[in-house]
A = this chain, B = another copy of it.
Amino acid sequence: MTTENLERPRRINNPQAMRARILDVAADLFQRHGYNATSVHDVVRAAGATGGALHHHFATKKALGLAVIAERVGPEVDETAIQPVATASSAAAGIRAVFDGVADTLERNRAVTGCPLNNLALELSLADPDFREAVNEVFDRWRAALSFRLHADRPEMDASRAHDLATLVVASYSGAMAMAKASQSAEPLRACALQLETLLR
């Protein structure tokens, strides 16, 4: 922080904190209720912001939605699904740990809200090409990281098989989250984790 900043009134530092708070709140509401079912007013109210403050950072609801994908959903996928596989002892062990870790979290939280990427993928992919592209970019990064790791474990594996296996892992994760949400149970994730581990070993 520079001296110049310190001399300004304290609220000068708030805009970035408010922007982050709006993103947190919007990500949570989109995740729990869906993008369409959440109004900009809902976000303003839950964030304790003003309409002006929200508009200052996000000119449109769509801009807010794209920022949620880029700055909240993408990093969450990196942290919960990509990094743990990259650093595990093997792709199989990492994938098992990711599925089981999410299943543990769901069981602790009691309510299964599903995978934010999947929720937005299904709700928004057809509504708008920019949303579709933003969501697809996250799916692609995830597949590429898994495929890279599978190939690193088994260099003899054909690149197209590594890519297809990575696709199966991402697809079954996404689908198991949808089934977990519908059954309000982590069981579909545990079942997939077990079968994928058998397949990958």
Contacts and interface: CB of A to CB of B under 8 A. Distances in A.
Contacts of A188: 167, 171
A184 B170 CA distance: 16
Interface string A22-47: 00000000001110110000000000
Contact of A171 (B34, B161, B175): B175
A165 interface: yes
Interface residues of A, number: 48
Stoichiometry, copies per complex: 2
Given A37-B36, A174-B175, A125 B168 contact: no
Interface of A: 32-34, 36-37, 111, 113-114, 118-119, 121-123, 125-127, 132, 135-136, 139-140, 161, 163-165, 167-168, 170-176, 178-179, 181-184, 187-188, 191-192, 194-196, 199
